[in-house]
Structure 1
Amino acid sequence: MSSRLALAPLSELASPSPEVGPADVDAEPVLAHEDDLPAHAPRTNTNTPHHTATAPQPTANAPAKSWVDPAALPAHAHATPVGGSAPAWVKALSYNTLMHYGVGPADAFGARVGRALRFTDVSVRPGAGAGGRLEATTTAEVAVTKHMLNGAGMLHGGCVAYLIDNCCSTPLVVLGLSTGTNGVGVTQALNILFHAPAPLGTTLQIVSTSIALGGRVMSARCEILDKDSGRTIASAFLSKMQPAKL
């Protein structure tokens, strides 16, 4: 197995993506060798064409099957290296979840924007709060292109909501994978504050951080920044839950 995902052909990208990640980032490969995986991590089925990750076999005491299992989703190649402290298998499965469940096929709503997202960092570390419980953070980038604008020539508020709903969900998936909990949910509430406009050509930096991950309810926060100026474009709070069934 290759230690790095193959680069996606440029022809598959619907819109130009910005150059992402500083040159000195020590990016991990997106896929890891199975010997490096913790006990609860899903294993790789090398008999499948894409070497997709498969979940461990259930035991008699295993909890009920989750409504969305990241390990059971098709593999999606990320076009650039992803930095950060999260294990490579966590980076891979969280991206698979975003692309399959969040972005969807090419004709899905907003898919052109979702497919242009590039993650530069996926990290898991002890949080600053009492007890030092784990906290997950993801950083993604995307350039504002013409089809993302409103009539005034600025980034559309609906596009901001789309980006936040998808990107702010990723640290919850990352944290869930890292702790053996399911962090995939449906959105209950999304509260967005719009701080500044973003014109054509702006490179957006989307930083999302987990807040809490419970048995069924979870929450995260997000900031969208102008990468070049550091100006805050929007900030948000996202609340999600795992449904009983769809």
Structure 2
Amino acid sequence: MSSSRLHTPTPAAGPSKLPQSAPKPWIDPAALPNDRAVTVESIAGNAPDYVKRLSCNTFYAYGVGADPAAFGYDVGRATKFVNISIERSMERAGRLEATTIAELTVTKHMLNGAGMLHGGCVTYLIDNTPLVVLGVFQNTNGVGVTQAMNVLFHAPAPLGSQLRIISTSISMGAACIVDKSTGRVVASAFLNKMQPQAAKL
């Protein structure tokens, strides 16, 4: 996508927090710490750098977390975003689309007993949503929790496979995991996200 197709509103002092009138967000990307291991300048795509930064902060600080003993920590930290883009061709119809592309190599701790990428690991990788990108770009809350996911497994991914996870926002969300070296689709999915409501006592 050409960056000339994207007209980016430039915040006066960088990214702002959600408007005061908005309900308290589940997670506010602007309140999360910067992940110093991420260099947004190395991430391709036409999304502004502040969108890339806050989207990566959300993935690593909220989605992966800081506890090395937590589920998926090693897999999440090994996942590297290589492209974050916003497509405005559907803006007249009242919506934007975002695409994130991340890459990682299948390592031993991602395998099942048959020596292939575990289905639970596939699901974890797919649950990387470009809705956060749209939320940051539009100054709304795009962070939610997964409500439903329908995964199709197409082919196994053995140890050493280099994976590319391509996620696109549509009316729900779609994701595809591809073997980078062969182009073979490993898995694809559609998923729904929702905004959780604070419990009322």
TM-score for both structures, normalised by structure 2: 0.87
- The total of aligned residue pairs comes to 192
Output one character per residue of 1:59-83: Cα deviation in whole Å (capped at 9) or x when no partner: xxx2222121100011103157100
Name the counterpart of 1:139.
101
Deviation at 1:42, TM superposition (A): 8.3
Give the CA deviation at 1:206: 0.3
1:142-173 residue CA offsets vs partner (Å, 9 max, x unmatched): 000011111111101111011111x2x2x100
Task: Give the C-alpha shift of residue 130 in structure 1.
Answer: 7.1
Q: Which residue of 2 aligns with 1:181?
A: 140
* Alignment match, 1:118: 80
Q: 1:202 to 1:185 in 2, by over 3 A?
A: same
> Equivalent residue for 2:9?
38
Contact 1:43 1:55 in 2 (8 A): no
Equivalent residues in 2 for 1:224-243 (5 A)?
Answer: 224-243=177-196
Give me the CA root mean square deviation.
2.5
Residues 211 and 72 (structure 1), Cα distance of their counterparts in 2 relative to 1, 3 Å cut: same
Structure number with the bigger relative contact order (C-alpha 8 A, sep ≥ 6) is 2
Could you tell me the percent identity over the aligned residues?
56
Give, in angstroms, the shift of residue 224 of structure 1.
0.2
Report the more deviating stretch, 226-235 or 72-81.
72-81
**Residue identity matched to 1:84:** G
Unaligned runs of 5+ in 2: 3-7
Tell me how far apart the structure 2 counterparts of residues 232 and 56 of structure 1 sit (CA, whole Å).
37
Question: 1:150-189, aligned counterparts within 5 Å?
Answer: 150-165=112-127, 167=128, 169=129, 171-189=130-148
Structure-1-length-normalised TM-score: 0.72
Change (3 A) 1:65 1:228: same
Q: Which residue of 1 is the match for residue 63 of structure 2?
A: 102
Extract unaligned runs of 5+ from structure 1: 1-25, 27-36, 45-52, 213-218
Aligned counterpart, 2:169: 210
Cα deviation code 1:212-243 (max 9, x no counterpart): 3xxxxxx2100000001100000001101001
1:9-28 equivalences under 5 Å are none
Q: 1:229 to 1:42 in 2, by over 3 A?
A: farther
Match of residue 149 from structure 1? 111
Q: Deviations along 1:174-216, whole A, 9 cap, x unmatched?
A: 011112221100111011000000011100000000013xxxx
Question: Would the aligned equivalents of 1:84 and 1:121 in 2 still touch at CA under 8 Å?
Answer: yes
Counterpart Cα distance in 2 of 1:128 and 1:210: 12
Distance 1:73 1:148 in 2: 27
- 2:168 is equivalent to residue 222 of structure 1: no
